[in-house]
Amino acid sequence: MNKHQYVAIMAGGIGSRFWPKSRVAYPKQFLDILGTGKTLIQWTYERFAAFIPEENIYVVTSQEYTDIVLEQLPTIKPGNILSEPSRKNTAPCVAWISYKLLQKDPEAALIIAPSDHLITDNEAFRNICRKALEFVSDIKAFVTLGITPTQPNTGYGYIQHEPLSVADNIYKVKTFTEKPNLELAKTFIASGDFLWNAGIFVWKVKNIVKAFEQFEPEMFEVFEGEKQHFNTGEELPAIERIYPLCTNISIDYAIMEKSDNVYVIPSSFGWSDLGTWNSAYENLEKDYLGNAVAGNNVIVIDATNSMVSVPENKLVVLQGLDDFILVDTDDVLMICKREKEQDIKQYVAEVKRNKGDEYL
């Protein structure tokens, strides 16, 4: 293993599209959504620990989830958990881990990855990551992993690349497009030069810090002014001062879409962002009527093509539903058409307006 290679796993989101299973107090990255016996963050950590030194694996999360991370990842050093004082999207957390590593190891190469994605071909994933790490070690470049699309999905961002490769299966990025409508997504697929954006990035930390200086100078200045405190006992007080001054912005908008040295590796490693109940449905075993059932005590009668997630020992009798999502918890029951899954965030907002935060 290369001592200059690091991973930052982003685990601060609230996973609202998996409501009501995913709650603010215990979001989806800490759940065993697919009934595998391990949570999503546990799978992610193990995937990287196979080829990155464990002492080089960091988790960036919200302060309220620090104890959950320690509980679910018992081998991680407490100092490798970066606990954000507030949610400011992904650019500030990337700046934090990058500045922290730059002070520790100026030659550090970093993989940024979500904590809650499904990857079924771990060997292919490792090989792609190693290719990306090798590429950024030789050239001042930012690499993103693009997933070869299988359908015109409107829930993903898309990456367009140049037709000719600059190295073996590595292409310069032309454009980023966030969640297109169906007609545009169909056009993207037909063109053959668009990939799904997996949100996994690779770069040298010294280069991403320079990019912050160029494209996000205000954020750069606040981190630069506190850099002497990183990796000391004053780091957390410094972050408490820094975060209120940071813009709420994604690393995609802040850096990637503005840079002219972004490259993509078309990838196939059994990826799903596991962002919605339909994506869970697609990755669960189904009965002969097309129902994906998570729960040991469910009786299905004349129901088809439905996603069912209920408490393990609760008896549920399901009759007559077709293409529905049914999710039951101790205090919430949600039933909606599968085609309306993109509206679940709106349902959560409606619950908040009518019932406050109790069920969120």
**Residues forming a β-bridge with 328:** 333
pLDDT computed for residue 328 by the predictor: 94
Residue that has been written with the tokens 């190693």 in this structure: 130
My answer on whether 185 and 102 are in the same domain is: yes
pLDDT averaged over the chain? 93
How many CA atoms does the CB half-sphere of 79 hold within 13 Å?
Answer: 11
Over range 10-22, report the average pLDDT. Answer: 90
Tell me, yes or no, whether 90 lies in a domain. yes
pLDDT computed for residue 151 by the predictor: 85
Q: What is the 3-state secondary structure of the chain?
A: CCCCEEEEEECCCCCHHHCCCCECCECHHHCCCCCCCCCHHHHHHHHHHCCCCHHHEEEEEEHHHHHHHHHHCCCCCHHHEEEECCCCCHHHHHHHHHHHHHHHCCCCEEEEEECCCEECCHHHHHHHHHHHHHHHHHCCCEEEEEECCCCCCCCCCEEEEEEEEEECCEEEEEEEECCCCHHHHHHHHHHCCEEEEEEEEEEEHHHHHHHHHHHCHHHHHHHHCCHHHCCCCCHHHHHHHHHHHCCCCCHHHHHHCCCCCEEEEEECCCEECCCCHHHHHHHCCCCCCCCEEECCCEEEECCECCEEECCCCCCEEEECCECEEEEECCCCEEEEEHHHHHHHHHHHHHHHHHHCCCCC
152-to-15, 180, 189, 278, 332 alpha-carbon distances in Å:
23, 9, 6, 15, 32
My answer on whether 266 and 323 are in the same domain is: no
Single-letter code of the amino acid located at 198: A
The CB density around residue 335, as the number of other CB atoms within 10 Å, is: 11
Tell me, yes or no, whether 360 lies in a domain. no
My answer on whether 170 and 214 are in the same domain is: yes
% of the chain surpassing 90 pLDDT: 81
Residue 179 pLDDT class (50, 70, 90 cuts):
confident
My answer on whether 346 and 326 are in the same domain is: yes
Alpha carbon distance 243, 219 (integer Å):
9
Query: pLDDT of 193-252, one tens digit each?
Result: 899 999 999 999 999 999 999 999 999 999 999 999 999 999 999 999 999 999 999 999
On whether the pTM is more than 0.95, the answer is no
- Preceding amide of 20 cis, omega within 30: yes
My answer on whether 243 and 296 are in the same domain is: no
My answer on whether 266 and 338 are in the same domain is: no
Residue that has been written with the tokens 């950590």 in this structure: 45
pLDDT computed for residue 129 by the predictor: 97
Residue 192 pLDDT class (50, 70, 90 cuts):
confident
Residue 119 pLDDT class (50, 70, 90 cuts):
very high
Tell me, yes or no, whether 100 lies in a domain. yes
Among the candidates 215, 250, 272, a domain finishes at: 272
As a dihedral over the C-alpha atoms of residue 16, residue 21, residue 25, residue 28, rounded to 10 degrees, the angle is -70
Query: pLDDT of 333-354, one tens digit each?
Result: 999 999 998 889 899 999 999 9
My answer on whether 62 and 134 are in the same domain is: yes
pLDDT computed for residue 183 by the predictor: 87
Single-letter code of the amino acid located at 193: D
Residue 153 pLDDT class (50, 70, 90 cuts):
confident
| Chain centre to alpha carbon of residue 241 | 26
My answer on whether 347 and 219 are in the same domain is: no
My answer on whether 222 and 103 are in the same domain is: yes
Instruction: Domain count for the chain, please give it.
Output: 2
Among the candidates 216, 238, 272, a domain finishes at: 272
pLDDT computed for residue 86 by the predictor: 94
My answer on whether 37 and 89 are in the same domain is: yes
pLDDT computed for residue 182 by the predictor: 85
pLDDT computed for residue 294 by the predictor: 86
Tell me, yes or no, whether 185 lies in a domain. yes
Tell me, yes or no, whether 115 lies in a domain. yes
Tell me, yes or no, whether 324 lies in a domain. yes
% of the chain surpassing 70 pLDDT: 100
Tell me, yes or no, whether 329 lies in a domain. yes
| Chain centre to alpha carbon of residue 359 | 24
* pLDDT greater than 90 at residue 114: yes
| CATH code for position 151 | 3.90.550.10
Alpha carbon distance 212, 26 (integer Å):
32
* pLDDT greater than 90 at residue 177: no
Among the candidates 254, 272, 290, a domain finishes at: 272
My answer on whether 135 and 32 are in the same domain is: yes
My answer on whether 87 and 171 are in the same domain is: yes
Task: Quote the domain boundaries for residue 306.
Answer: 277-355
pLDDT computed for residue 120 by the predictor: 92
* pLDDT greater than 90 at residue 131: yes
CA distance between the termini of the chain: 42
Tell me the Cα Rg of the chain: 21
Query: pLDDT of 45-99, one tens digit each?
Result: 999 999 999 999 999 999 999 999 999 999 999 999 999 999 999 999 999 999 9
